[in-house]
Copies of this chain bind each other. A is one copy, B any other.
Amino acid sequence: MYIGILGSGQVAQTIGAKLLEKRHSVMLSSRNIDAVKDKGQWGKLQSAREWKDEQEKKGYDAYVSDFQEAAAHGELIFNCTAGAGSLEAIKSAGEENFSGKILIDLANPLDFSKGMPPTLSVSNTTSLGEQIQAALPGTKVVKTLNTVSAMIMVKPGLVRGKHDLFMAGNDETSKEWVKKNVLMGWFGWKSIIDLGDISSARGTEMYLPLWLRLMGALNTSNFNIKVVKGST
């Protein structure tokens, strides 16, 4: 399948690599495909071009370009940009390049400008997922994967035992397709809870502040939550 990925950071590279393993044609995108991101204590993240070259050497069908080309490339599109830049990236990609397609939005509207831990730039009465759906009325936005680290997104087995992923979106058929093919089929998720329409993205995005505190308390980002039901 032809898949376009908005973004070229750690999440985009991780999702992209997994999709290439599954033998899809994947295009990452960036404002500057030669930019090398400094990840502080985690070293430097390779540039989008370096990532593409490395994947090509493995024989994969990898590309990098701008947001517009990536959206046009994809029959399916992932939004892996930082939440603060998602709406601008989508706008520059051109609404017509998303039309009729499924957009999997896994960004979180984190605002690091006020120090650590980050706050949310939108929350409570709306969500980034809703804003993206409003900006792309002809596109089926499915919000999912935003409650776990990039590594766990594509390798849920890193977390022991049962644990849950959440999903929100207005189009039932698209959610079912994403659940069956992308989440369970390609990424290996076993349990996905459909929270309802795209406004449910408020719930999963507003979970991030708890996720960040848990990361601090557990001293790792390698965790997830499991919903446990009562006996009555």
List 22 A-B pairs, Cβ < 8 Å. Answer: A123-B123, A123-B124, A124-B124, A124-B209, A158-B231, A159-B229, A162-B228, A193-B217, A194-B217, A195-B210, A195-B214, A195-B217, A196-B216, A203-B211, A206-B210, A207-B207, A218-B227, A220-B229, A222-B231, A222-B232, A223-B230, A224-B227
**Interface majority SS (helix, strand, loop, mixed), chain A:** mixed
Interface residues of A (CB under 8 A from B): 114, 119-120, 123-125, 152, 158-163, 166, 168, 193-196, 200, 202-204, 206-207, 209-214, 216-218, 220, 222-232
How far, in angstroms, from A119 to B200 measured CA to CA in the complex? 12
CB neighbours (8 Å) of A114 from chain B are: 125
Instruction: Establish whether residues A223 and B227, one from each chain, have CB atoms under 8 Å apart when the complex forms.
Output: yes
CA distance A109 to B28 in the complex (A): 41
The answer to whether B206 and A209 touch across the interface, beta carbons within 8 angstroms, is yes
